[in-house]
Amino acid sequence: MRAARPLVFGLMMVAMVAASVWVNLQGGPNGGGEAWLVPVGLLGGLYAILVVVDVVVHAWKGEGQACRACGHRRPVKSFCFAGPCPQCGA
């Protein structure tokens, strides 16, 4: 399950970059009409929903923030997100 979270967020980032390239190929936001609003708005909204759901689920489960290097859940104290990972030290 640890591999699914970075994969989903990575795919969302790739989709947002692809949407940005598509908008630029269509003439940019000012030259291509308003058709670009739909895909970019949907992707942006979906990304925001994913982030909120991710934060809420991890807070509900009592899990900390995932380490960027190894994916291990670091225990998080209230209002304190800094500190090395206990598994890999990153």
Average pLDDT score over the chain: 75
pLDDT tens per residue across span 25-34: 777 767 666 7
Report how far Cα 89 is from the mean position of its chain's Cα atoms.
23
Give the 3-state secondary structure of residue 73.
Answer: strand
What are the structural domain ranges in the chain?
1-90
Residue 80's DSSP bridge partners are 77
- Cβ pair 54, 64 in contact under 8 A: no
Ramachandran category for residue 45: left, alpha or beta (phi over 0 → left; psi -120 to 50 → alpha):
alpha
pLDDT at res. 77: 61
Across the range 17-31, mean pLDDT stands at 76
pLDDT tens per residue across span 54-73: 777 777 776 667 777 787 77
Q: Is the pLDDT of residue 15 over 80?
A: yes
